Amino acid sequence: MPELPEVESARAVLERYALGRPIVDVDDADTYVCRPHLPGEIRAALLGRRLTEANRRGKSMWCETSGLRGSGVAGPTLGIHLGMSGKVVFAGEDGREVDGGDYWRRGRAQGDHRFTRFSLGFGDGTRLLLVDPRRLGRVRLDPPVERLGPDAREITPAQFRAVMARGTAPVKARLLDQEAVAGMGNLLADQALWLAKLNPARTVDDLSRAEVDRLHRGLRAAVAAALDGGGVHALSVVPARRADAVCPRCGAPMRRGTVGGRTTWWCSREQP
């Protein structure tokens, strides 16, 4: 599933290519991806406007829109969620395309729009598409982003200590709680815990302040590595998340279990 780095790559495409262009067409006919809106509702809200800002917190992405015909009153917020296989594609008038979002091992052939679930057409002939083979993305107006916790890329040590100071949840489950830390997914959480040498099933109330601070450093390092590597597939622990694998750091056998409802891998020696 796309995690923070994949969504950031999609946001960067929006910011670089899609802002400031007048919206002259909207295809919002997919009632599942565009729920709870009826066909034509998003279209009516966006026609004649421009995207003015591209924002992200955690795995959530949204664009602010302009007023109509020079009005100083801003338009609705357009939320775009990539789901498990989504990416945004900016299609130029000359046929060139730029995409950002989910890492597809086999890529996507330029011009393959079979799985387009939502699109904006701009006045200069360019288009912005949500391409989503599994149809698990989401487009909606005015998404409730205020419910999200601090972004995993920006969360401070003090904010992170506060997140880890309440309740008795397993530490991995707390990392995956988007209202606690926005942007952490299964692979980023495994990488952060592996870097911090902490067992994912330990409860947050059992962690010392030194361990919490070590986990915060591991979290920030995991996010930075994924951003630098082009996505979570580049994380060093990912190849070791398989049967008979050994820890990339010490060579001990890797262990597999379920924590927080998610398949989890950890080092049998360094994350006891």
What is the average per-residue pLDDT within 211-239?
A: 94
Domain parsing of the chain, residue ranges: 4-146, 149-267
- Identify the pLDDT of residue 231: 85
* Single-letter amino acid code for the residue at 63: C
Mean pLDDT across 37-43: 97
Q: Residue 107 pLDDT more than 80?
A: no
Integer CA distances (angstroms), 183 to 1, 2, 118, 255, in order? 11, 9, 23, 25
Residue 42 host element (H or E): helix 41-46
The pLDDT tens digits for 120-139 are 999 999 999 999 999 999 99
User: Taking residues 240-267, what's their average pLDDT?
Assistant: 96
pLDDT tier for residue 1 given thresholds of 50, 70 and 90: low
3-state secondary structure of 98: strand
Residue 74 phi, psi dihedral angles, 5° rounding: -65, 155
What CATH architecture does domain 4-146 belong to?
Answer: Alpha-Beta Barrel (3.20)
Provide the CATH number for the domain formed by 149-267 in this structure: 1.10.8.50
pLDDT reported for residue 25: 98
Confidence band for 105, pLDDT divided at 50, 70 and 90 = low
Dig out the tokens for 159 from the structure.
């904010």
CB of 149 within 8 A of CB of 192?
no
262 φ, ψ to 5°? -120, 145
Query: In the numeric block, which tokens belong to residue 253?
Result: 């056998």
Q: Which of 183, 113, 176, 134 is nearest to 155 (CA)?
A: 183
Q: With contact defined as beta carbons under 8 Å apart, do 51 and 78 qualify?
A: yes
CA distances from residue 236 to 33, 122, 158, 171, 239 in whole angstroms, order as listed: 33, 40, 27, 20, 7
Confidence of residue 112 (pLDDT cuts 50, 70, 90): confident
Q: Is pLDDT of 71 > 90?
A: no
Measure the CA–CA gap between 204 and 81, rounded to whole angstroms: 29
Average pLDDT over residues 162-176: 96
